[in-house]
Chains A and B, each alone.
Chain A
Amino acid sequence: MKKLFVLMTLMLSFSVAAVIDVYDFESEEQEALFRTLTAELRCPKCQNNNLADSNASLAKDMRTKTYHMVIEGKTEDEIVTYWIDRFGNFVLYKPPVTLGTAILWVGPGLFVILGGIIIVRNSRRKVRVETDDSDDELTGAEKDRLAKILKDSEK
């Protein structure tokens, strides 16, 4: 039985269907960068998979190319820009911050602010006298019955 300590620099990546690519990295930072990239980059032809999880041949090519760029020392921004240059913003799971996508942050943000304003305003409101709950009031007989039930339940 061979005892072999496999070094952390040996690296493969594959997906559900277990397609294997063999990659060697020079450092943990590089490996971490590769993992981050293949998680945030999207496979352009798949049904919503990132590069890491996809077994499409295009995804494999993109992984290989990404690996080479990581080894060359390119930064995350440079590699992402490389892919966006070729496939557009679709290929990144982080949406660009533009006027068109502003609603992603502004929408919920405005809602929170609006909600806050309404909460503060309502807490200062005077009690409304008119109600439609007149039938919520108990009659005398019902009040007696209520008292009896409460007494029963405390036994």
Chain B
Amino acid sequence: MTNDVKKKKQLMTRLIPLIVFLCVSIFLYIGLFRDATVLESTFIGRPVPEFALNDLVEPELQHDKSVLSGKPMLLNVWATWCPTCYAEHKYLNELAEDGVYIVGMNYKDDRKKALRWLEELDNPYKISLYDPDGMLGLDLGVYGAPETFFIDSKGIIQYKHVGDINPRNWNGELKAVYEQLK
């Protein structure tokens, strides 16, 4: 090939490292604005797994997965050892008053402490599950508190939110997700 074409080809070759680097930089840039510790859920579109948990308030009462279907609802994973749950609780009360159906799951916690918490801070939960050893948590892929699952009337999990629910993210995207639950 002619000298000019050859030179151009060599220039193109030498540009490859730069192009690769710039592409990598784009991903690095995006990464700066993401939380690297957030894990997406494997349960989106899947039904709630089988379980048998006692009620938090009435220890004799047992619940199974049927309490998590029948209508659109939120399943909120919380604990008294979790400071963010404390921050979120007041807003959950407001949402419950607005008609949002919330089931609570007390996760790896002390029953007495949990009950006292609900008394002092009001109880937004229509049903309170008690998962002291975290086994349902494991079966749902819970890795921290608070986490909230958005479940439809068929008992299918449609969305999972990690972290607290507050006015900003509720009015931002979560409310829309809830309202779309069938």
Q: Do chains A and B touch in the complex (CB under 8 A)?
A: yes
Contact A61 B39 (CB under 8 A): no
Name 7 extra pairs, CB < 8 A, besides A85-B42, A86-B141, A87-B39: A44-B39, A44-B143, A58-B134, A61-B135, A65-B135, A65-B138, A88-B42
Residue among B39, B41, B108, B133 with most chain A CB within 10 A: B39
Write the nearest CB–CB distance from B159 to chain A, whole angstroms.
16
Chain B: number of interface residues, binned into ranges: 10 to 19
Chain A residues with CB under 8 Å of B41's CB are 88
**Chain B residues engaging chain A, CB cutoff 8 angstroms:** 37, 39-42, 108, 133-135, 138-141, 143-144
Known pairs A85-B42, A88-B39, A88-B40; A61 contacts B138 (CB<8 A): yes
Total of A-B residue pairs, C-beta within 8 Å = 35
* Chain A, range 48-88, C-beta contacts under 8 Å to B: 57-58, 61-62, 65, 84-88
Chain A contact surface mostly: helix
- Contact pick for A62, options B39, B40, B138, B144, CB 8 Å: B138
Chain B contact surface mostly: loop
Contact A90 B39 (CB under 8 A): yes
Write the nearest CB–CB distance from B10 to chain A, whole angstroms.
13
Chain B residues with CB under 8 Å of A62's CB are 138
What is the bound-complex CA distance between A87 and B134, given in angstroms? 14
What is the bound-complex CA distance between A86 and B143, given in angstroms? 10
Cβ of A35 within 8 Å of any chain B Cβ, yes or no, is no
Closest to A84 in B: B42
Contact B140 A61 (CB under 8 A): no
